[in-house]
Amino acid sequence: MGAGHGHGQAAPASKRARLILWGTLLPIALATVVGLLLLYPYGGVHVGVPQQYQPFVTGQAIIVDGTVAAVSTETCPGSGTPGQASGQCQKATVQVTSGPDAGKRVAVEVGAVTGTPLLSAGERITLARTTAGGTVYSFNDFARGPALIVLALLFAVIVVAVARWKGFAALVGIGVAVAILVFFLIPALLAGRSPVLVGLVASSAILFAVLYLAHGRTAQTSTALLGTLLGLFISAGLSAIAVAVTHISGLSGEDAATLQVATGSVPVSGLLLCGFLVGALGVLNDVTVTQASAVWTMADTDPAASGRRLFALGMRIGRDHIASAVYTLVLAYAGSALPIMLLITISKQPLGLVLTGDQVAVELVRSLVGAIALVLSVPITTALAAVVVRSRSTVASRRPGAHRG
């Protein structure tokens, strides 16, 4: 085949294949841009903050940093009353490191209520400084910023060291995805825009940015992108049907119920659909990229393979990928739902009643819809990749000695 293609690079597609891909992707890209422009809340978002979420933004209190200098243990006032985990409370001396009293040492009492963290000398924490009736400091939370920054930097270094340029491009893609979520999806939802439309537009924008940044603007990437978008649309349709049929509300969760009361403009059922879509992106992207890459690699290895043959071989890999991805979905849910599983165990309610309750049913629907969309995206992407590669191979075979499709 002449000079052939560079190692590790996807072979170029024929003009016909490019027309097929871009003839499908361009309308979706244009619709995504139009959706971003139309759904964005240009007037800003003005939503009242519920009382439980604004204890430190009322003007009478601020959050400051501090370092625990010393800790002592003493008997709690009213020890033995309901709600006390033990009769011992902590009294910490904290060096304030920010705010009006930076440099001063203050006393902070930490009760023994179940779930209250134990402090130790040297730990960095945040304090609530209240001024109503005198200056009082109370424990707010641990200062996790430095540890999280170190962990994030370690992640970035390892990704770039192993994946090199593609790893760096993937990190840039993550940044773009976060920006879309923070600056478009969340404001649009709070402004009362349709959660389903917002979810579809945001998800499509993320896919276009992430895939082309991480994998380059090639026919292989475009094929994976189209397969992912089709899987996303399938997920949207299935999610809408599942929410309507199962009548899940999402209001069993405290945060969703609070949001409904606080805003009144964000329908929780729609929010569920939006969450289903965004949550399905990662695993769909993983499957489609792998399938497209597998078909391209097999086509480069055996240029004479027919489209039917490439599809059959790609599905062998796809079936293994489906099995592992389904396990991933189930285990990921099990890991995040351990508290719920423990509550189920001690509640001694019938298993059928627990599984059909709103709180568990939401997660079951999320996992099942995501799994169905994932499974269907495998043959869809494999077939698309086989068609595109076969088109390239056909054109190349008509031009002996040519090495560019």
DSSP track, 105-161: EEEEEE--BTTPPPP-TT-EEEEEEE-TTS-EEEEEEE--HHHHHHHHHHHHHHHHH
Tokens of 205: 């924008």
Question: Where does the pLDDT of residue 281 fall: very low under 50, low under 70, confident under 90, or very high at 90 and above?
Answer: confident
Task: Taking residues 136-140, report their average pLDDT.
Answer: 85
> Distance between alpha carbon 154 and the CA centroid of its chain, in Å?
20
pLDDT tens track for 359-402: 777 777 877 888 888 899 999 999 999 988 877 554 444 444 43
pLDDT tens track for 190-239: 888 888 899 999 999 999 999 998 888 888 999 999 999 999 999 888 88
Rounded to whole angstroms, the Cα distance separating 91 from 109 reads 4
Residue 136 or residue 395, greater confidence: 136
Q: CB-hemisphere CA count at 13 Å for 17? A: 25
Please check the confidence at residue 8 and state whether its pLDDT lies above 50. no
Task: Taking residues 322-337, report their average pLDDT.
Answer: 75
Exposure string over 199-223, b if 16+ CB within 10 A, otherwise e: bbbbbbbbbbbbbbbbbeebbbbbb
Tell me the average pLDDT of the chain.
79
Please check the confidence at residue 169 and state whether its pLDDT lies above 60. yes
Please check the confidence at residue 260 and state whether its pLDDT lies above 70. no
Lowest mean pLDDT, pick from 54-58, 97-101, 110-114, 286-290: 54-58
Task: Taking residues 94-103, report their average pLDDT.
Answer: 88
Q: Residue 257: its pLDDT value, please?
A: 61
Please check the confidence at residue 78 and state whether its pLDDT lies above 80. no
Q: Of all residues in the chain, what percent carry a pLDDT higher than 70?
A: 74
pTM of the model: 0.74
Task: Taking residues 305-322, report their average pLDDT.
Answer: 89
Q: Of all residues in the chain, what percent carry a pLDDT higher than 90?
A: 24
